[in-house]
Structure 1
């Protein structure tokens, strides 16, 4: 097994745990952002008929943006920490 494959395999559990933590953080951030941009505490769900399309799509776009930014930050931060601990970059 090559060094690159070994590093990627070693990073996998680390990446999984940091990804789960990032998801929790992203959810909390989205809830706070939604409370500031909407007069409702909870974002609309696609199956809730009382919300108009505009509000539903705005919530979905905002949630996607928050999750993407948090995922990128967590992935990069995790890779940097992994490299500091092992001396190997997990993505190459």
Structure 2
């Protein structure tokens, strides 16, 4: 039973984490660049440098948010189930 709860919580936390990371990245990018939207990798209007910097920032934010949410979810499940 705890495996089912763990997988469900993991799926929900993954979706929540992605949404939170996306919102944080959008605000960080807006602050750093002064532009509302981050460059897309396929966009011709941005150079390699700007695209790669945006991707690196986005990846770092996603990684930190995912780790924080996964850790919180694991601790919550442990407290609830004792395992």
Question: Shorter-chain TM-score category?
Answer: over 0.9
Q: Give me the TM-score of the superposition, normalised by structure 1.
A: 0.85
Query: May I ask how many residue pairs the two structures share in their alignment?
Result: 83
Aligned position for 2:28 = 33
Instruction: Pick the structure with more helix per residue.
Output: 2
Aligned position for 1:85 = 80
In 2: Cα distance, 1:47 partner to 1:10 partner: 39
Over the aligned positions, Cα root-mean-square deviation in angstroms equals 1.1
Segments of 5+ residues of structure 2 without an aligned counterpart are none
Q: Give me the TM-score of the superposition, normalised by structure 2.
A: 0.94
SS in 2 for 1:13: helix
Segments of 5+ residues of structure 1 without an aligned counterpart are 1-5
